[in-house]
Chain A
């Protein structure tokens, strides 16, 4: 069965994309919530320096020390940025933007100078090529497993273990770093561990999908999930789901349009985020707009009820409690008064006399008007 799966190129490509997505968004959830998501962008650029330096020392593009070099480069980026920010000479965001382009530029320059002939160019690092990821295989037992699938599988397991084991600590460190520190949980150390894993994941992801898709998977799925829910574990789960969905949809869209698979997967995450932003149940733009409109209508209805209630037993009731009076006294447009009357009637709060168009409160409508005018009577 495993053999059949490995023979299915499409499935393997989707699986690699999904694994990158899951491993990245597990870590990304905490980065996004902590407000440190742009470190993933910085790391994904500067790991190139680590990779190049290890290559120059070892002469091997696929040496296992790559992970070490890249992880160190990633941590160095974060450390330098934090140091620069803490010195108060530049703001934190400018500090990030000063450090990583310099390291990346240095890496590109080193490639220019010493590594022209190898397959290690900055374009590949940025963009990757998921379509060929299954070609590069390593033997595992009797099976030939694509290298990216294997590395991303291992990394996903490690990240999932990290998040599960330190769930409580990570949660506290993200939401209340002060308390975490007071309890002796070392939130800073945990943060650096998180970024170390981010660097390692970036190295694993970079030859499969490229740095940019990696950054997308770190930031966008958790951000989209965060727009949908308040529960941390749901954000984690939702992020993974969105990542998997993006891989599947992105792959098919890329096949259909004949474009970059990784790029399409990342684009789909963006579209899903846009969807969550617009149509999310509680925080979505549309939901909020509808809620606002609902509230506005309800306010008008209440106004109508109060108006009818105050004039109900007066001599002018004949004059006041008719649609025309609404236009004069409440300064409503004919359209608005028609609409509000209809809604109030629909809700069973008023009745309309067919002949004189007189408006009468129902028992329920009267109760509601009393509640507005004399809320202290409500029991």
Chain B
């Protein structure tokens, strides 16, 4: 017990863990808006565009402190978003091509700057390329403060402009008709993705950051229809993946934190896609089976009642072959299920072969109700 506590209070671990929690929370909140506004892959472009931003920040500040690097990433990220917007609005390129162009050329520019810095033998540039995949262990308390400030700005903006962001996300046309500065609000929302990217630089790096923007939000979307709940859930999922990824990476030295966080987030998303009530794939499949069983039972009950009535006796036991013929398929499984529910009962054949079935009083009642419902439906 004590060893676990020791690990958790270890300086490096505590920093990494706090950083991961901050990152997960913020990217969950901001990712929600990105995913709902169908700008998921813009997140990819912005995170790749952070690389030249980092390099420029380093060249300007001349040191590897997080502040200037983050500022550079933020500014260049915003510039990249603006380029995507410019290309989408004023050229014939579709939005995917615009995103692809900006993503790849900005990243290429980043690699050029990276090699430039390396070849200049500038002091303190060691490990600048760790921002490609993040390096949680290299986190300093001062970095944590910077990340905390960025997260506070991001979440503060969301809280202050909650109503505006909500309307712009779901009905920008209506927002415009109210005279709101929709373009500006959309611009702010988009640039805020760059905030999440900046905060993720140290933890997961620019290459995989897109997963942390999309996965928690996509997971949260499966569980709820309300924006409030979705934002909270996404923050929770993001923070949980951040913490889980960081802790797993402690198991063995050399395990990169970033990919583990990403895998945790994707795992949560996969589980949500499968299991979430109403939207989940498994949930839907179960529901479909249940509905099918209901329809089958109903049809067999009605068939039995009509067969019995044709013989002038609602307690008449029909041969299973006859039931199959009327039903149009093998009714065996459905009959067994109905027997378990106490709606039909098998009887030994009085004549001929094969099993015979008759409705119990409860079954007759159910079949009658179904038949009446069917007739009402037809009259409408």
Partner-B contacts on A (CB < 8 A): 32, 35-38, 40-41, 45, 84, 87, 89-91, 93-94, 96-98, 101-102, 104-106, 108-109, 112-113, 116, 122-123, 126-127, 210, 212-213, 215-216, 218-220, 223, 226-227, 254, 257-260, 262-267, 269-270, 273, 277, 283, 285
Q: Does B312 contact A (CB under 8 A)?
A: no
A106 to B91, CA, bound (A): 37
Partner of A101, one of B109, B222, B266: B266
Partner of B279, one of A89, A270, A277: A89
The 4 A-B pairs with the shortest beta carbon distances in the complex, nearest first, are A270-B105, A266-B108, A101-B211, A263-B111
Docked-complex contact B262 and A105, CB < 8 angstroms: yes
Partner-A contacts on B (CB < 8 A): 35, 38-41, 43-44, 87, 90-94, 96-97, 99-101, 103-116, 119, 129, 132-133, 207-208, 210-211, 213-215, 217-218, 221-222, 252, 254-256, 258-260, 262-263, 266, 269, 273, 279, 281
A109 to B248, CA, bound (A): 12
Docked-complex contact A38 and B214, CB < 8 angstroms: no
Chain B residues closer than 8 Å to A40, beta-carbon distance: 100
Write the chain A residue with the least CB distance to B36. A91
Q: How near does chain B come to A85, taking the closest CB pair, in angstroms? A: 11
A38 to B95, CA, bound (A): 10
Knowing A106-B263, A259-B119, the reply to whether A215 touches B111 (Cβ < 8 A) is no
Write the chain B residue with the least CB distance to A101. B211
Knowing A93-B38, A106-B259, A262-B111, the reply to whether A220 touches B104 (Cβ < 8 A) is yes
Partner of A219, one of B90, B101, B113, B281: B101
Docked-complex contact A267 and B211, CB < 8 angstroms: no
Docked-complex contact A223 and B211, CB < 8 angstroms: no
Partner of A94, one of B97, B116, B218, B262: B218
A116 to B215, CA, bound (A): 28
Docked-complex contact A216 and B94, CB < 8 angstroms: no
Chain A residues closer than 8 Å to B218, beta-carbon distance: 89-90, 94, 98
A254 to B94, CA, bound (A): 31
Chain B residues closer than 8 Å to A127, beta-carbon distance: 111
Docked-complex contact B214 and A98, CB < 8 angstroms: yes
Chain B residues closer than 8 Å to A91, beta-carbon distance: 35, 38, 40
Q: How near does chain A come to B79, taking the closest CB pair, in angstroms? A: 13
User: Is chain B's binding surface mostly helix, strand, loop or mixed?
Assistant: helix
Chain A residues closer than 8 Å to B113, beta-carbon distance: 259
Write the chain B residue with the least CB distance to A222. B97
Knowing A89-B279, A93-B40, A267-B108, the reply to whether A98 touches B211 (Cβ < 8 A) is yes
Docked-complex contact A101 and B255, CB < 8 angstroms: no
Docked-complex contact A267 and B112, CB < 8 angstroms: yes
Chain B residues closer than 8 Å to A210, beta-carbon distance: 111
Chain A residues closer than 8 Å to B211, beta-carbon distance: 97-98, 101-102, 105
Write the chain A residue with the least CB distance to B252. A113
Knowing A94-B35, A98-B215, the reply to whether A283 touches B111 (Cβ < 8 A) is no
Knowing A101-B211, A127-B111, A212-B104, the reply to whether A109 touches B41 (Cβ < 8 A) is no
Knowing A109-B260, A112-B255, A226-B93, the reply to whether A263 touches B99 (Cβ < 8 A) is no
Beyond A254-B112, A277-B87, 11 additional contacts (C-beta under 8 Å) are A89-B218, A94-B35, A94-B217, A97-B44, A101-B211, A105-B262, A106-B259, A112-B256, A216-B104, A259-B113, A265-B108
Q: How near does chain A come to B254, taking the closest CB pair, in angstroms? A: 6
Partner of B100, one of A37, A257, A267: A37
A41 to B108, CA, bound (A): 13
User: Is chain A's binding surface mostly helix, strand, loop or mixed?
Assistant: helix
Q: How near does chain B come to A117, taking the closest CB pair, in angstroms? A: 12
Partner of B132, one of A97, A113, A126: A126
Chain A residues closer than 8 Å to B112, beta-carbon distance: 254, 257, 259-260, 263-264, 267
Docked-complex contact A216 and B108, CB < 8 angstroms: yes
Between A and B, 18 residue pairs with Cβ closer than 8 Å are A41-B104, A89-B221, A94-B38, A97-B210, A101-B210, A112-B255, A113-B252, A212-B107, A216-B105, A219-B97, A223-B93, A223-B101, A258-B115, A264-B112, A265-B108, A270-B106, A277-B91, A283-B91
A212 to B252, CA, bound (A): 30
Knowing A102-B262, A215-B104, A219-B104, the reply to whether A267 touches B91 (Cβ < 8 A) is no
Docked-complex contact B109 and A97, CB < 8 angstroms: no
A106 to B108, CA, bound (A): 24
Centre residue among A91, A101, A104, A283 by max chain B CB count within 10 A: A101
Write the chain A residue with the least CB distance to B274. A89
Knowing A108-B133, A259-B119, the reply to whether A220 touches B105 (Cβ < 8 A) is yes
Partner of B97, one of A109, A223, A260: A223
Chain B residues closer than 8 Å to A87, beta-carbon distance: 273, 281
Chain B residues closer than 8 Å to A215, beta-carbon distance: 100, 103-104
A267 to B259, CA, bound (A): 28
Chain A residues closer than 8 Å to B208, beta-carbon distance: 101, 104-105
Docked-complex contact B105 and A266, CB < 8 angstroms: yes
Docked-complex contact A108 and B259, CB < 8 angstroms: yes
A342 to B264, CA, bound (A): 71
A267 to B106, CA, bound (A): 8
Q: How near does chain A come to B286, taking the closest CB pair, in angstroms? A: 16
Chain A residues closer than 8 Å to B87, beta-carbon distance: 277
Chain A residues closer than 8 Å to B114, beta-carbon distance: 260, 263
Partner of B96, one of A36, A89, A213: A36
A109 to B133, CA, bound (A): 11
Q: How near does chain B come to A362, taking the closest CB pair, in angstroms? A: 39
Partner of B221, one of A84, A90, A126: A90
Docked-complex contact B132 and A263, CB < 8 angstroms: no
Partner of B256, one of A97, A98, A108, A273: A108
A36 to B104, CA, bound (A): 15
Docked-complex contact B104 and A227, CB < 8 angstroms: no
Knowing A259-B119, A260-B114, A267-B108, the reply to whether A105 touches B258 (Cβ < 8 A) is yes
A265 to B105, CA, bound (A): 10
Write the chain B residue with the least CB distance to A106. B263
Centre residue among B100, B213, B252, B259 by max chain A CB count within 10 A: B100
Q: How near does chain B come to A202, taking the closest CB pair, in angstroms? A: 13
Knowing A41-B44, A263-B109, the reply to whether A101 touches B99 (Cβ < 8 A) is no
Write the chain B residue with the least CB distance to A116. B254
Docked-complex contact B111 and A260, CB < 8 angstroms: yes
A106 to B260, CA, bound (A): 8
A87 to B132, CA, bound (A): 32
A41 to B103, CA, bound (A): 9
Q: How near does chain A come to B185, taking the closest CB pair, in angstroms? A: 21
A22 to B97, CA, bound (A): 18
Docked-complex contact B108 and A270, CB < 8 angstroms: yes
Docked-complex contact B109 and A270, CB < 8 angstroms: yes
A227 to B40, CA, bound (A): 25
Chain A residues closer than 8 Å to B109, beta-carbon distance: 263, 267, 270
